[in-house]
Amino acid sequence: MLFSRALIPTVKEAPADAVNASHTLLVRGGFIRKVGAGFYDFLPLGLRVMRRVEAIVREEMDRAGALEILMPAVLPAEYFKETGRWDRFGDTLFRLKDRKGAEFNLGPTHEEIVTDIARREIRSYRDLPKNLYQIQTQVRDEPRPRGGLLRCREFIMKDAYSFDATEDGAKRSYEAMRVAYTRAFDRMGLTYRLVAADSGAMGGVLSAEFQVLADSGEDAIVACGSCDYAANVEVATVKPSAAAGEGEAAREKRRVHTPGKSSIDEVTALLGVPKDRMLKSLLYTAGSETVMAVVRGDHEVNEVLLARALGAADVFLATEADVKKATGADVGFAGPSGFGGRILVDRAAAAVANGVTGANETGWHVADVNRGRDWNGEIHDLRLAATGDPCPRCEGGKLQSYRGIEGGHIFVLGTHYSAQMGASYLDENQEKKPLVMGCYGIGISRLVATAIEQHSDADGIVWPMSLAPYHVHLVTIGKEPVVAEAARSLHDDLLARGVEVLWDDRDERPGVKFKDADLLGIPLRVTIGAKSLASGNVELKPRSERDPKKAELVPLAAAAEKLQSLVRAAPGT
């Protein structure tokens, strides 16, 4: 491809709303353009990269025995109403009506539609197992689309759905997808962790995320340095450690005046007690109920675990008015001692001896409170895991915190959808049983951006060979006929060998061409100029090599073969 004939509108300035490297570089490099909040055009280079991601994912899905289908993007409302997700998705669901007034929604995911295929087409255990997948546009009305392609309203997703006769069969399908995803992410050159995760609105009994490690990631994960335990902090648990005040004799409870001191830091400074002696008491609303969650002062509430303990879909921090109504005090002075509502307490907080907490009276706390004598509550795992916490799986291991971007998510759904929608099969005894399902998603368009979060520097993108829009960036310097002739010969030879080339033939200064080459991030840059050609050479420099002195002079006659070997030897290609 000639640069002069391509559509590669590079720009110097970052978009005003860019907050991360991928958004900035995809726009500056002319890969994407914003249409509206959360909606993007993929220009030629961006589409080429996305097609690379699609090809890798498709190859690994096919290798694992999955069958590609294509389901509609516009879905009749009746399917989501059948499972209750028409209401449960809330404002995230794009809804519309046709000219006859019939209700539809734009597909945010396709569990219902694929389950409908299964209930119509699968009859017997002999038809199982099956794994159906698609690569399709999906749409969700995200309240705050941000980060360019990392959180959009419209995105390209690979979603797959397995159908088995038994839970053991579903786990085997899950394992096959885990292996396929591992191969795909490895081929893309991504550094990632497979972490335990929450199933969320999808439902399910077994769930894990492929978290691509990146400082810009919006997901917090923890992983043990001594074993393979890793989990999203939403579901991570922590092995109990020594309790604050463990072994102390219970002292007499006393009220302490703390005027204007409502935060943990303020109270501990005033009373001269450590944070792990505090009982942090936060009020939440779950449906129509207001509950109290108690954690140690040096810990934070894990709202996903709290919702699970309550059997609620979501929980929300109570408003100031709700706190006042439930406790009689301002925010910052709530406590379990004397609270009349439902109390859920984290295990570490339950073990605190002679603790300090709010008195449910503005300006007052109570000290030397002990569970059992002064307050009670349901004990659960409620706190967020953090760096330094003991690993729940191994002895002596410590957790380390990371940031990650969710690139893929795999679930065992069980019969969550099949039972609701009547998707069943006849077993060997001709008994009707619900299909056992799995669900497996990869954010295709998100991975375009995710790769850049790991593979970029101050000058631009550094594409892995397997994802790059072209393999070779050919740059010509000068207008001499011998330069153009040599470039044309190398360009055509590379194409004949299956090596894809972007030839910068523009009438621009060398500095402009080199800046654009660094920005676009194509793995191999070959520079042809009259000076190097005088000795029969061209200059070869990998994009990943930061030292300009490391450029290699390669004989023109051998350049095509060398470049071909470098492309073929690159991981993932």
- Asked whether the predicted pLDDT for residue 227 surpasses 80, the reply is yes
pLDDT tier, 549 (very low <50, low <70, confident <90, very high otherwise) = low
The kind and range of the H/E element at 181 are helix 167-187
User: DSSP states of 477-542 as a string?
Assistant: ES--HHHHHHHHHHHHHHHHTT--EEEE--S--HHHHHHHHHHHT-SEEEEEEHHHHTTTEEEEEE
Backbone angles phi, psi at 112, to 5 degrees: -65, -40
- The per-residue pLDDT for range 235-279, each reduced to its tens digit, is 888 887 666 666 688 899 999 999 999 999 999 999 999 999 999
Report d(CA 507, CA 560) in Å as an integer.
24
Tell me which DSSP letter residue 288 carries.
T
pLDDT at 245: 65
For 3-27, write each residue's pLDDT tens digit.
999 999 999 999 998 989 999 999 9
Across 56-60, 86-90, 124-128, least confident range: 86-90
Q: How confident is the model at residue 205 (pLDDT cuts 50, 70, 90)?
A: low
Lowest mean pLDDT among 154-168, 187-201, 294-308, 477-491: 187-201
| Residue 313: exposure state from Cβ atoms within 10 A (0-12, 13-18, ≥19) | exposed
Instruction: Determine the Cα–Cα distance for residues 437 and 118; give it in Å rounded to an integer.
Output: 10
pLDDT tens readout for residues 153-194: 999 999 999 999 999 999 999 999 999 999 999 999 999 999
Residue 321 has pLDDT above 90, yes or no: yes
Rg for the chain, CA atoms, rounded: 29
Pairing of strands 501-504, 472-477: parallel
Type of residue at 142: E
pLDDT at 573: 82
Angstrom distance (rounded) from CA 539 to CA 558: 12
Give me the pLDDT at residue 115, please. 98
User: How many whole angstroms separate alpha carbon 108 and alpha carbon 320?
Assistant: 35
Tokens of 475: 């740059």
Residue-range domains of the chain with CATH = 46-218+401-452 (3.30.930.10), 254-380 (3.90.960.10), 470-569 (3.40.50.800)
Is the distance from CB of 243 to CB of 352 less than 8 angstroms? yes
pLDDT single digits (tens) 411-432: 999 999 999 999 999 999 999 9
pLDDT for res 202? 46
CA distance 326 to 130: 52
Residue 238 pLDDT: 84
The rounded mean pLDDT for the chain is: 94
pLDDT score recorded for residue 237? 82
Give the Cα separation of 564 and 495 in Å (integer): 10
Report helix, strand and coil shares of the chain as percent, to nearest 5: 30, 30, 40
Q: What is the mean pLDDT of residues 115-137?
A: 98
Strands 364-369, 436-443: pairing is: unpaired
Is 368:253 a contact under the CB 8 Å cutoff?
yes
pLDDT score recorded for residue 201: 47
